[in-house]
């Protein structure tokens, strides 16, 4: 299978997406936070996921790529769960790239971050549930988006 890597016909504002996900880890309880996407979500409805999402490209253009994933993960975590963390205390546990069904390339990273406290407030309309899982309680692979189960276990190991 060959992938077309030319920019012919590419939209200037959608050449690629950069995505950051965060696994909040409560070290004291050896658990991590997962959010369950709403059943009506277009992609991966009713599946367990991490807080995360796309960031803006201006930070990359300004040469702040080292800060980018932490800043995006923090903003998405606050928006989707109501929780925050210190981006300087994160660890990259996974990263990669893929091409979406619509042809837009995605570069992504998953960060492990220590939970600092607070109460979860789910983003209205996006998530139906949340829970803190130990490694032994993680949902099945089929109930998670992509490699969420494996990355959750790696994050718990990295921060406990």
Q: What is the pLDDT of residue 41?
A: 78
Q: Using 50, 70 and 90 to split pLDDT, how confident is the model at 1? A: very low
Lookup: tokens for 116: 């600092």
In the chain, where are the structural domains located? 16-159
Q: Does domain 16-159 have CATH number 3.90.110.10?
A: no
Q: Is the model more confident about 63 or about 19?
A: 19
pTM: 0.84
pLDDT for residue 46 is more than 70: yes
Quick one: pLDDT band at residue 9, thresholds 50, 70, 90?
A: low
Instruction: Report the C-alpha gap between 99 and 31 in whole angstroms.
Output: 31
Q: Which two tokens stand for residue 97?
A: 């790239």
31 vs 126: CA distance, rounded Å: 22
Section 118-135 average pLDDT: 95
89: helix, coil or strand?
helix
Helix and strand counts by DSSP (H, E) for the chain: 3, 7
- Whether pLDDT at 107 is above 90: no
Q: What pLDDT shows up at residue 106?
A: 84
């Amino acid at each position: 299978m060959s992938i077309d890597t030319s920019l012919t016909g590419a939209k200037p504002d959608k050449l690629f997406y950069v995505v950051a996900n965060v696994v909040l880890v409560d070290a004291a309880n050896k658990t991590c936070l997962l959010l369950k996407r709403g059943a009506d979500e277009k992609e991966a409805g009713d599946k367990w996921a991490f807080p995360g999402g796309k960031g803006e490209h201006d930070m990359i253009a300004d040469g702040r790529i080292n800060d980018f994933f932490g800043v995006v993960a923090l903003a998405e975590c606050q928006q989707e769960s109501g929780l925050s963390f210190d981006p300087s205390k994160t660890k990259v546990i996974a990263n990669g790239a893929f091409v979406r069904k619509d042809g837009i390339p995605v570069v992504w990273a998953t960060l492990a971050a220590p939970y600092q406290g607070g109460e979860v407030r789910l983003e209205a309309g996006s998530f139906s549930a949340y829970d803190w899982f130990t490694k032994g309680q993680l949902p099945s692979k089929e109930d998670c988006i992509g490699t969420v189960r494996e990355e959750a276990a790696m994050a718990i190991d990295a921060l406990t």
